[in-house]
Amino acid sequence: MDSHMSFTSHLTARLLPNDYQEGDYDLIGLTVLPEYLIPITSVTAPEVSILIKMIDCLWNTTMSAPVKADSEYKRDFNGLNTKPSLILTSNPIPSTTLEPMTVIMQKTKIHSRTSVSQNIFQPVATSAPPSVFTTRSDHPVDRKGIKPQKDPLQTNKFYANFFLGNQNASSWTHPYSVAWVKGDAKAKSWGMSITHIDADKKVFDQSTNPPRYFINPISNLSIIISSSELGSSTYLSTDTLTSTSVNVNLHPNSSAPAQITFPLVQGMGFVTALFHGGTPILQSTIFFRNITKYLTAPKPGVSKYKITLEDNAIWFLYAYSPSSANLEFQFVSNQLLQATFKFNGILQVAKNPPSNFLAEKIYDTACGTYATSVTLVGSVNSDSGSYTFSYIKGGLSNTTLVMFALPHHVASFSLDTSKKITDIQLETTTKGKATAIVADSWTMIEHLPTIIGFRPWNPQFPNDKKILSANTVNSIRKVANVEISQDMANQTNLNSFYFSGKALAKFASVVYTLKELLDDECVAQVGLSKLKSSFALFISNKNQSPLFYETAWKGVVSSATYSTGDKERDFGNTYYNDHHFHFGYFILAAALIGSIDPNWAQANKDYINTLVRDIANPSSADTYFPVSRCFDWYHGHSWASGLFESSNGKDQESSSED
């Protein structure tokens, strides 16, 4: 891609070139206030800003050649090269430039950002999507095993593999991964596997130095939780799908009630299994070396076991029953442990970090309770923002949770949350070491660069409006006059939301540059008029692949797959792939236009708001879209993968377009 972008909140982005080094470029920051972009319908809605860093060389880039209207844009989901090439040929540089016309431009307003807000996660809107979007009740992807629920279904979350494909690909809660074994020939089980990979088990590329890649082997299943009643008729269902959690249920058959429920929440300290009358069994493909039952219970009603595997890993097992039943396991083989009776209660497992003897005490104290979901709240006070994860709990109410935080959480913890940090750490696959936190809520505090606007900005001269040198301005002017003369209509009217959006955002950047940086209002107005005309094709939903609003999963999707049957068309947009940058380019273009012409933003807010709601709905009060479809508040970035089964879990293939 042309540059590196990282969305750091539901409407926040940073844009840097691939070879960026701090200090090498004049930075341009973008801040769009609601009156410039999308007036919020809720009377309690606070200001939300889009913060974007841009490089002056961005204006010097040209759009990759316009592609024929009948070209196909596909993504190869097996990891092969995209077909056809993303970059085909270069645009010819026009030999003439546009003739300026006399216009009256609206002056851009500058606002002070010193507001104090309550919870910032207020709905963008709560009304139905505009009628310009045809509504459909069907979608090419079945909602496999998903129990009906009132809230919109999530499409891009960590647990999606449980309702996609064969339903047996792994899901990562970190530091653990879980997967339905589904009769695997090696494991011979129909239960749920729990896997954790220590740092010394990672396999690194040996052909180059430094290594080009490393692998987390996930085929060795540390612990499998199942019941003796589960067999080849086992049915997997999911319920209570939220942006941070899900319940996964294993049934003896499709018509039987769930026998085991696994409440999955990112960062959970224990993998928890709620038994509803089945006979628990534990299995392992690494093999059990020994299992020891503790004679002294860590708390009333709880049985405790220490399990040592053949890879020297130590796991702790806790069983809590409201009836105080003392769960007993029999050693059947080095791959199988079986309980002696049917069980109604909580079974929990947690891994002991290598050479850490403090974890056992922490686990003993926290056992018997588990997280079921997360409530997210956030606030802004001037240039300081905070957000809090408040965990909803099940099990023992008088017990505090143990949850694992990623390094970026720990670095931002409030003073009170920092006091809950322990010395327990477990390796994650790609996010470093996760740290155990004993608390029912976490608060993170972040500094907000509120003084950055659309204009060039330098931290040494934050209030200097003329930060670009005369030579830089002259260089930009030459290129801008050429680029604004390109065939905007043909470059934006493509059968790909991705490439159409990139083109609209490019030309919007050029128009903004002409007006705000070069003070060339006449040429800027010519470009703005063309840009509005090109954008109008999409706002009227008369582009080559119009958007549908579909009610099966609840979202706006390209009609391309509906009309062609090709799930990979436009990189899988119909399957909710890549929406945050497909639609993000449209939102960026609208922000730039709206900063110049607020009346245009007001007139077209419903269309733009719909795109925002699809990718970044901040509130469950908006029942037409799931909350935070793309952004993962635990990981701190978005996931691009939509309704495609992925054996390696969700991915964000382009950091430049997060």
Give me the residue spans of the domains in the chain.
160-368, 373-447
pLDDT of residue 115: 55
40: pLDDT strictly greater than 90:
no
Length of the chain, in residues: 658
Mean pLDDT, residues 358-362: 96
Alpha-carbon distances of 48 from 413, 455, 596, rounded to whole Å:
23, 18, 18
Over the stretch 471-490, which tens digit does the pLDDT of each residue have?
999 999 999 999 999 999 99
If you average pLDDT over each of 20-34, 206-220, 347-361, which comes out highest? 347-361
pLDDT of residue 455: 82
Fold (topology level) of 160-368: Beta-galactosidase; Chain A, domain 5 (2.70.98)
**pTM for the predicted model, two decimal places:** 0.82
More confident residue, 8 or 563: 563
> Which of 269-278, 427-436, 445-454, 581-590 has the lowest average pLDDT?
445-454
pLDDT of residue 48: 31
Using CA atoms, how far apart are residues 144 and 142, in angstroms rounded to an integer?
5
pLDDT of residue 116: 61
Cβ atoms within 10 Å, residue 518: 19
Over the stretch 640-657, which tens digit does the pLDDT of each residue have?
999 999 999 999 887 777
Catalytic residues: 578, 653, 657
Distance, C-alpha 424 to centroid of its chain: 26
Quickly state the pLDDT bin for 56 (edges 50, 70, 90). very low
Over the stretch 298-334, which tens digit does the pLDDT of each residue have?
999 999 999 999 999 999 999 999 886 789 999 999 9
595: pLDDT strictly greater than 80:
yes
Alpha-carbon distances of 334 from 37, 196, 255, 308, 552, rounded to whole Å:
63, 19, 33, 11, 46
Across the beta sheet with 171-172, the strand order is 171-172, 177-180, 192-195, 223-227, 280-283, 336-339, 329-333
pLDDT, the chain, mean = 85
Over the stretch 94-127, which tens digit does the pLDDT of each residue have?
444 444 443 444 444 434 444 566 889 999 999 9
Mean pLDDT, residues 464-471: 79
pLDDT of residue 355: 84
Mean pLDDT, residues 33-44: 34
Quickly state the pLDDT bin for 393 (edges 50, 70, 90). very high
